[in-house]
Structure formats: structure tokens, C-alpha cells
Amino acid sequence: MTDPASENSSSGRLIHVLDDSSLIKFCPLCAAALERKDRAGRMRVCCSACDFVHWENPKLAAVVVVPVEGGIVLTKRCEPPAIGFWCLPGGFVEPLEPPELAAAREVLEETGLHVEIDKLLAARAVDGANIVVLYYVARLLTSVALNPADDADEARVFSVDDLPEAIAFPHDRQMIHEWFAGQGAALR
Ligand SMILES: [Zn+2]
């Protein structure tokens, strides 16, 4: 089975798998050249000299609906991708970090709000990005004193009636609308 996004360059040494962030040429363990081999049922980037396999499992992100009086909290992005667009607070899970703690940490970093995660709403795969996003809903532990930082330069409460046009990620957009249509109906 081959991945249509994978290709070998004309030099035969550059191996491009899924996206530019996975452009690696040499084994991180022994520095020998990498090559594509059939491993565990599909072609994977493997070391030509040792047993290293570049397992390209999806990156995990945790993203949070934070309901507050008057709506939910969105942040305005100041880092790529989608600079200037609004999104739900969230980010990538760190190594060995439980995803619900990552979710609460990202909310604190980006909005200044202390929250505890209530429950998982959904898991969504991002088209073509090799990322899986876990969507949580959180409970606010303190008052709504927004203090944006990290990769957000603005944080605001939006009601369903004044949601911004420019929402960064299709799954965020869908989750926001689903949430207001369901559990969030009381905030209308
Ligand atoms: Zn190696």
C-alpha cells in the first residue's frame, strides 16, 4: 500500500512523507540513509542500517469549548497557520501529557482562564494534516478574566449571534455550531 502524498525525490535520498514537517533524510539513531520498506503492512520510512522505523502516527491536539456567561471563548491567532482568524483555544499534546491536562493547560496559556475538563465532545481527523483533534468542553474554575498570550493575541466571549466570520479551522467551526445547537442552546 502506498501513500499518494509520499514520494522519493529524483536523488532518491529525500523522502517526503505526508507533509514538509516529515522531510527527513537520515536515521536519528545511527545517521544512515533512510529508505522506504514494507513494514507492518505498508511502506514506511525505515533506516537502511538499523531497525529504526519512522512511525508517522498522527499528532494529537486538544481543543476546548469553554462556556461562560454570554457564550464561549474564542482566541484570535497570531501564529501560523491562519493568523488573524479566530478559533477555539487549544494546541498540541506534549510528550507523556494526558490529553485532558493538555486541554486545560492550553486554555490557561492562551486565555488566562483556569478550567477543568468536563468531558470529551468528539475526536476529528484533520484532512491531509496527519493530526487528530480531541474536542473537550470545560468548566470555568475562576472568574472570566481573559488574558490572551502564547499563540493568541486576543481572547473574547462570543454568543451564537455574534460569531466571527473568520473562524480558522473547519472542525472548530462545526464544533462551535454543534455545541450552540445542543448543550449550548441555553446560552442563546
Ligand atoms: Zn539507523
pLDDT of residue 54: 92
The verdict on 32 and 11 lying in the same domain is yes
Q: What is the Å distance from ligand 1's center to 133 Cα?
A: 31
Predicted structure pTM score: 0.81
The total number of structural domains in the chain stands at: 2
Contact 152, 117 (CB under 8 A): no
Question: Is residue 48 domain-resident?
Answer: yes
Question: Is residue 70 domain-resident?
Answer: yes
Q: What is the Å distance from ligand 1's center to 25 Cα?
A: 11
Ion ligand 1 neighbours, Cβ < 5 Å: 27, 29-30, 32, 47, 49-50, 52
Give the CATH number for residue 158: 3.90.79.10
Question: Is residue 146 domain-resident?
Answer: yes
Q: What is the Å distance from ligand 1's center to 5 Cα?
A: 24
| Three-state secondary-structure class, residue 152 | strand
| In the predicted structure, residue 1 carries a pLDDT above the cut 80 | no
Task: pLDDT band for 187, please (50, 70, 90 cuts).
Answer: low
Question: Is residue 173 domain-resident?
Answer: yes
Longest dimension (CA), the chain: 61
The verdict on 112 and 173 lying in the same domain is yes
* Distance separating alpha carbons of residues 92 and 106, to the nearest angstrom: 8
Question: Is residue 86 domain-resident?
Answer: yes
The verdict on 151 and 76 lying in the same domain is yes
The verdict on 78 and 163 lying in the same domain is yes
| Three-state secondary-structure class, residue 87 | strand
* Residue range 99-133, pLDDT digits in tens: 999 999 999 999 999 999 999 999 999 988 899 99
Task: State which residues form the domain around 95.
Answer: 59-187
Question: Is residue 13 domain-resident?
Answer: yes
Contact 79, 159 (CB under 8 A): no
